Amino acid sequence: MKKNLLPGKVNLAAPGIVLCLILVAGGALALYYFKGRSITVQDISASSKISGLNFTHREKSMMLEDLRANLKNFQEMREIRLENSVAPSLIFNPLPAGFDFSRVREDSGFFPEEPAEVRLPDNLEDLAFYPVTDLAWLIKHRRIGSEFLTRLYLERLKKYGPGLRCLVTLTEDLALEQAARADRELAAGIHRGPLHGIPYGLKDLFAVRGYPTTWGSPIYRNQQLDFNSTVYEKLTEAGAVLVAKLSLGELAWGDVWFGGQTRNPWDPTQGSSGSSAGSASATAAGLVAFAIGTETWGSIVSPSTRCGTSGLRPTFGRVSRYGAMALSWSMDKIGPIARSVDDLALVFKHLVGPDGKDRTVYDLPFSYNSRQDLGKIKIGYLKEAFDRTRKNKDKYLAVLDVLKSLGLDPVEIKLPTIDPNIVSFILNAEAAAAFDELTRNNLDELMVRQGRNAWPNVFRQARFIPAVEYIQANRIRTLLIEDMASILKDIDVYVTPSAGANLLLTNLTGHPAVVVPCGFDDSGHPLSISFIGNLFEEGRALRLARAYQEATGWHLKHPDLSRLDELEASSGAKK
């Protein structure tokens, strides 16, 4: 799935925007630069075809002087270095007209499920697959130490990380230091909360001082940013222990990076999907207790589906993106990938809220009650999405049967009539702006993936998106936001297969999604279902997803990594 990006001293995460890229989307003609000669009427004629416009000879002649002036301005603009961390001044607003904040503020409270007691397994290696909720109990009650658990995960990362190609940088020294501090604090009676001493991994587009932040690209392989991302700072404050920086598809597209293709632990011959490829792969394989991913267009949902993990893509404007590579300022979101819905809630609780650096973040509470009365949640389902599913249809329909067995009565809803794909180029335009220098300086030729369906080509063709059309697309996006508000006015959460038009739509409108496993196909590959919530109401979607997990137990399954050992042995023998 898609994307994120750029070089230099990045503070990334750049706050969100919407109408940003007049620079990138300056229009076919505007960026059509001929060295050595001036723009002519013939150039306008050729360029107009790209925009589907038709002008008379007189109209073209009148444009010439202004177009030449525009080009001169563009050239002067390019003399100003724009780091990836510099966000456009125009900020995307996902709120429909008349949005009622009181409902979000009044529905306050955080009530996760806490286990009464957790037993240690006979084989302590099995701790690697325990959910955060159980590990937190064991650490809090000093049945295990953070340093012991951290060393367990570090050893598993060393053993399986290279084979899965999910590990970019092992942060061993930092992890052991943080784990030792967590144990000392606990011995002194200081407990920071459920993440105290819990080892985790970060998608390698988050800045951590002292370690590379590669964005998955050979261009940035040695990039070190001299500051910390807000997400890392917040998790450190919560007592979590960073054990690794995990792979992402190069510049946040797909699962291919400079280290190869990240593998799916359930089937190592298959990629883990992307772009939070390493975050999902490492979590599923028991190499970390949880991980942090990002999503622009499916980058949490897709790898969670492929790897059988639980994932939360929050509402746009929930989590600060400061210190995270920017791909699309109006679409990038940050969320956790874990083994259970309760784990997602525990981690997300520590991520939300403004930091004074990302101007898109709202100061609104995150509410979650693991035992909320399901009868108070109004549920819908996308019948059309279920009907269109061809493969494994029975597995998806079984989800509705489970919900009905819980006493729920999902009602049919329909998506807006406007096809979101017609405005999907918003992402391309913003991404091309974020990595403008790669295109202009021909650095895109150094990227791992080339060809039509890869970033270099997307960056280039995006230069021919007219600024007017980019803005028009965002006006259509406003219509989608209003349509969704109307459709969901009487619905709290709706259920849908994870792929399809809904995935792009809800990323454009900023709605939250909880994705959880819902079984396996005939080849043993995980399948998933998504629970979509209203803006800033992740808690209700999490509650419904938790009820489904409790009723099915699919999230308790984990892959047999002996298949990875066999694959590695086979490839070694061939060499």
Give 4's pLDDT tier (boundaries 50, 70, 90): very low
What average pLDDT does range 401-410 have in this prediction?
A: 97
Give 574's pLDDT tier (boundaries 50, 70, 90): low
What average pLDDT does range 82-93 have in this prediction?
A: 95
pLDDT, tens digit, 9 for 90 and up, residues 475-518: 999 999 999 999 999 999 999 999 999 999 999 999 999 999 99
What CATH number does residue 541 fall under? 3.90.1300.10
pLDDT of residue 26: 43
Give 105's pLDDT tier (boundaries 50, 70, 90): confident
> What is the full DSSP assignment across 509-525?
HT--EEEEEEEE-TTS-
pLDDT, tens digit, 9 for 90 and up, residues 131-146: 999 999 999 999 999 9
Strand 411-413 to 379-382 pairing: parallel
**Chain Cα centroid distance, residue 308:** 16
Give 575's pLDDT tier (boundaries 50, 70, 90): low
pLDDT, tens digit, 9 for 90 and up, residues 157-195: 999 999 999 999 999 999 999 999 999 999 999 999 999
Give residue 69's region: left, alpha or beta (phi > 0; psi -120 to 50).
Answer: alpha
Dihedral angle computed from the Cα positions of residues 311, 300, 544 and 413, in that order, rounded to the nearest 10 degrees: -170
Query: Would 6 be classed as within a structural domain?
Result: no
Query: Would 196 be classed as within a structural domain?
Result: yes
Percent of the chain beyond pLDDT 70? 93
Residues 6+ apart with CB under 8 A from 348: 312, 314, 335, 336, 366, 538
Query: 569 pLDDT exceeds 90?
Result: no
Give 573's pLDDT tier (boundaries 50, 70, 90): low
pLDDT, tens digit, 9 for 90 and up, residues 455-471: 999 999 999 999 999 99
What average pLDDT does range 192-206 have in this prediction?
A: 98
pLDDT, tens digit, 9 for 90 and up, residues 423-449: 999 999 999 999 999 999 999 999 999
More confident residue, 10 or 223: 223
Give the bridge partners for 380, in sequence order.
411, 494
* Number of domain units in the chain: 1
What average pLDDT does range 361-376 have in this prediction?
A: 96
What average pLDDT does range 267-282 have in this prediction?
A: 97
Which residue reads 């993106």 in tokens? 321
Q: Which amino acid is at 35?
A: K
pLDDT of residue 31: 43
Mean pLDDT of the chain: 93
Given a contact cutoff of 8 angstroms between Cβ atoms, the answer to whether 428 and 462 are in contact is yes
- Lowest average pLDDT, out of 33-37, 152-156, 271-275, 321-325, goes to 33-37
Query: Would 208 be classed as within a structural domain?
Result: yes
Query: Would 14 be classed as within a structural domain?
Result: no
pLDDT of residue 572: 67
Report in angstroms the alpha-carbon separations of 430 from 26, 205, 496: 12, 17, 28
Query: Would 260 be classed as within a structural domain?
Result: yes
Residues 6+ apart with CB under 8 A from 302: 1, 273, 274, 498, 499
Query: 309 pLDDT exceeds 50?
Result: yes
pTM of the model: 0.92
Residue 388 lies in domain: 101-112+120-419+475-574
Give 36's pLDDT tier (boundaries 50, 70, 90): very low
Query: 314 pLDDT exceeds 70?
Result: yes
Query: 24 pLDDT exceeds 90?
Result: no
pLDDT of residue 463: 94
Give 86's pLDDT tier (boundaries 50, 70, 90): very high
pLDDT, tens digit, 9 for 90 and up, residues 538-553: 999 999 999 999 999 9
> In angstroms, rounded to a whole number, what is the distance separating the alpha carbons of residues 417 and 426?
19
Q: How many residues does the chain have?
A: 575
pLDDT of residue 568: 81
> What is the full DSSP assignment across 292-317?
EEEESBSTTHHHHHHHT-EEEEPPTT
